[in-house]
């Protein structure tokens, strides 16, 4: 989602992002928060705000998060520094891997493979890839969504259509944004991602200092 609040536009915000922004607006001399494109950039500011609060309550500060880095990222900014699988075991034969350069084809092939191999007890997955523009490479996360973890108020059922949302941003510019429903079989074929592939190629060809965010979320919908 996109939310405009006073002088800030949030893209797919988390509760912690909104909370940090509210603190900074209410107590600007105490808290600092600026909306930055990637989550791990914002996580550092959120941790700093947390430590301000802890100091005021005579608590020891907590260490600030350190983003993953890869030695090859100084030469090739699109290297995957970190790849984390959650909600299930890593997918064998996935085209993305730590230490490998993230390409448009690798992203598309991974999405198609995840769709083709969706286990029967799972209803979808989320893929997020972020590059902060600091020559530390990409942080990539893939999370499978199981049927038992789905919201019971809107149960996902096998046999229904496939609901998806895709967002590709370069800095503050949205290169591609799409949501809709369709057949899972369509998304299981790499040839069905023409517009997405073009947007990915444009993003990945950008200057190393440009932040990039790639997110894909897909779920089986009701019959």
CB of 168 within 8 A of CB of 199? Answer: yes
* Position 5 pLDDT exceeds 60: yes
Give percent of the chain with pLDDT exceeding 70. Answer: 91
Q: Which pLDDT score is estimated for 78?
A: 95
Tell me the pLDDT band of 38, cut-offs 50, 70 and 90: confident
Q: Which pLDDT score is estimated for 153?
A: 46
Radius of gyration of the chain (CA): 19
CB contact burial 162-181 (16+ within 10 A = b; e otherwise) = bbbbbbbbbbeeebbeeeee
Cα dist from 149 to 132, 153, 158, whole Å:
30, 12, 15
CB of 204 within 8 A of CB of 103? Answer: yes
- Tokens at residue 195, please? 């517009």
pLDDT in tens, 130-183: 998 888 899 999 999 887 655 544 444 444 589 999 999 998 888 999 988 888
Domain boundaries, the chain: 2-56, 71-220
What mean pLDDT value characterizes the chain? 87
Model pTM score: 0.78
More confidently predicted of 85 and 154: 85
CA–CA separation, 48 vs 23, rounded Å? 12
- Interval 99-111 mean pLDDT: 96
* Position 220 pLDDT exceeds 50: yes
Q: Which pLDDT score is estimated for 221?
A: 81
Tell me the pLDDT band of 212, cut-offs 50, 70 and 90: very high
CA–CA separation, 41 vs 93, rounded Å? 30
Tell me the pLDDT band of 190, cut-offs 50, 70 and 90: very high
Q: Which pLDDT score is estimated for 150?
A: 53
Residue indicated by tokens 């494109």 = 37
Tell me the pLDDT band of 6, cut-offs 50, 70 and 90: low
Q: Which pLDDT score is estimated for 35?
A: 83
CA–CA separation, 25 vs 27, rounded Å? 6
Determine the angle formed by the axes of helices 104-116 and 194-204, rounding to 10 degrees: 140
Give percent of the chain with pLDDT exceeding 90. Answer: 57
Q: Which pLDDT score is estimated for 148?
A: 60
């Amino acid at each position: 989602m996109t939310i405009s609040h006073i002088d800030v536009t949030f893209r797919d915000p988390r509760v912690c992002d909104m909370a940090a922004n509210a603190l900074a607006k209410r107590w600007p001399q105490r808290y600092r928060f600026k909306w930055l494109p990637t989550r791990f950039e914002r996580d550092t500011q959120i941790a700093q705000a947390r430590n301000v609060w802890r100091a005021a309550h005579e608590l020891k500060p907590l260490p600030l998060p350190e983003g993953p880095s890869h030695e090859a990222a100084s030469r090739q900014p699109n290297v995957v520094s970190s790849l984390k699988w959650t909600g299930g075991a890593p997918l064998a034969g996935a085209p993305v891997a730590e230490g490998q350069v993230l390409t448009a084809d690798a992203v598309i092939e991974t999405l198609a493979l995840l769709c083709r191999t969706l286990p029967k007890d799972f209803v979808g997955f989320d893929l997020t890839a972020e590059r902060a523009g600091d020559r530390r490479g990409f942080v990539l996360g893939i999370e499978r969504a199981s049927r038992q973890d789905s919201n019971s108020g809107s149960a996902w059922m096998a046999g229904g259509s496939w609901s998806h949302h895709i967002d590709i941003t370069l800095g503050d510019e949205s290169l591609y944004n799409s949501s809709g429903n369709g057949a899972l079989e369509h998304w299981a074929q790499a040839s069905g991602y023409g517009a997405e592939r073009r947007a990915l190629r444009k993003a990945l060809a950008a200057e190393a200092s440009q932040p990039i965010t790639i997110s894909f979320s897909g779920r089986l919908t009701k019959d």
